Amino acid sequence: MSTEPRPDQVTVPAVFPPVEVAAVGETMVVLCPAPGEPLEHAERVAVSVGGAESNVAGYLARLGHRAAWVSRVGDDPFGRAVVRHVAAAGVRVDQVSVDPGAPTGMYVKDPGPDGTAVHYYRAGSAASRMDPGTLAAPGLAGARVLHLSGITPALSASCRALVEHAVTNRPLGGALVSFDINHRARLWPAEQAAPVLRDLADRCDLVFVGQDEAETLWGSADPMAVRQLLPGPETVVVKDGAVGATALCRDAEPIFVPAPRVTVVEPVGAGDAFAAGYLAGLLRGLDPVRRLRLGHLVAAQALTSSGDNAPVPPWAWFERLIDASADAWSPLDLTGTRATT
């Protein structure tokens, strides 16, 4: 039987204002040896936490929004570490259940000369036991956005049923349903994932997808081809790495905003940061150009920091840049700078 986190796991207030964003998905413990040290020779590893949806919630919280992470963890030290880590970012975790019959998921990084391999230990995890009932929590009532990703339906049949329920039955009432494709080939190959992700995404309101993902999954060579495959959402945002991002809103011309130049320290988590920035812009009532700019600027914080969760500068810094003229934005170069200083 699942229970709420115990008081010794995380301290939360008894009464909350309604959340703005509910982000649903698995977060795991991450073990990583020293840079360049192969895992098989490592004597020590660093312990951290990683999860796409909790990353989005964390960035939204740091941008001043009320975000909740909804998931399930094991009744183990790793589960307590995950909950504590996410809560420390200012994210509500009162809708996280503890499952005494399943472990918290884990992945291990293995640096090598040809890059870093990743080994997952998540089969049968507590989060893989999430199901449609996960979204029945009363603490999610009034959320303006429900954020999901394509990772969750790959975890188990019950997790896929959860996402199907979310996009079809809309259990959070009028909440906008946001979906990041986030295809993970290690979880399911493209030929298996492609039709499922396309069907789920087409029933959402807002979809984020990388141009490279769209090509791998559906052979879509440009944003317009992606939009033709996904006519259902109000908005489809196609990200093209360092080039920029395009918002394709229904009954409107495509809007492309180039990405600012940055010194990349670690690309992991940049897509989650972009989604959080765009969603923050939506919550603040910004127009599509400013939403895309805010997405780029939050992603820049992730790109120029190590780890999945970077600090963010004060809102005034973002506001000054998202309100810049087109001529001032186009050559924007953050290379060699840290916006938080």
Active-site residue set: 272
Task: Look at residues 253, 244, 246, 27 and name the one whose alpha carbon lies nearest to residue 151.
Answer: 27
Beta-bridge mates of residue 147: 23, 178
Q: What is the DSSP string of 77-122?
A: HHHHHHHHHHHHTT-B-TTEEEETTSPPPEEEEEEETTEEEEEEE-
Q: In angstroms, how far is the first alpha carbon of the chain from the final one?
A: 47
Beta strands in the chain, from DSSP E residues, in sequence order: 21-24, 28-32, 46-50, 67-74, 96-99, 106-112, 115-121, 145-149, 176-180, 206-210, 235-240, 244-249, 255-258
Task: Look at residues 185, 176, 236 and name the one whose alpha carbon lies nearest to residue 210.
Answer: 236
The token duo for 122 is 């998540």
C-alpha distances (whole Å) from 187 to each of 60, 120, 183, 286 are: 27, 9, 8, 35
